[in-house]
Copies of this chain bind each other. A is one copy, B any other.
Amino acid sequence: MTDPAAPIEETNEAATKAAVFCAAERLFALHGFQNVSVRDITAEAGVNLASVNYHFGSKDALLFEIFRRRTAELNRERARMLHEANDRHAGKPPVREILEALFAPPLRWGSVNSDRRISVQFIIRSRSEGTEEMREALTSDVSHLARFADALIAARPDLPRETVYWRLHFCLGMVHNNRFAEFDRLHVLSAGLTRESDTEGLLKRMLDFAEAGFLA
């Protein structure tokens, strides 16, 4: 900003921070949280070792910042789609469209050609490997999921609420199982029959399965 003739390197600090952020997210998503050291991150980002502590405070703080940003983005997209479904159906969308708002964002972001593929794997991993702080945030912040639960209860007022909650739990299990390793395993099991790359096809399969389960 001080030199209008060279605006490209005005954000050198921000660039370093972003490089650390992206390298960390990538390595964490691929190799797990505990298996990646600060040294790995700074080497991958091409910055010095002290950058993580300078820009983020600590390794755990960096981890938590990635987690918070990505989950916020995902929840926002889900809320947006749910809102659109509401608009289309006068505030009472059918089960299938509610589930689509729940399934589509992580599925599409996680498709092989998406630049958010890494982010989705990071989020999925944080659910099982996260720090105490992250798990606490996941457990306590259910406001995002509550909107989906309410929508499903409104769509199926004939079902006991308890039943709706459990079925939402089953649907989340379907989503969380979409990890690299599980796709690979399924690929081996089916002798190459299942193609992970067909994102929209998989979304339709998930919706068919879950919708039928909900209408039982």
A interface with B by C-beta (< 8 Å):
32-35, 125, 127-129, 135, 138-140, 142, 145-146, 149, 161-163, 165-170, 172-179, 181-182, 184-186, 188-190, 193-194, 202, 205-206, 208-216
Contacts and interface: CB of A to CB of B under 8 A. Distances in A.
Question: What is the predominant secondary structure among interface residues of chain A facing chain B?
Answer: helix
B139 A185 contact: yes
Number of copies: 2
Contacts of A163: 205
Contact of A162 (B169, B179, B181, B194): B194
A176 B176 CA distance: 9
A142 B190 CA distance: 10
B177 A190 contact: no
Contact of A188 (B142, B169, B215): B142
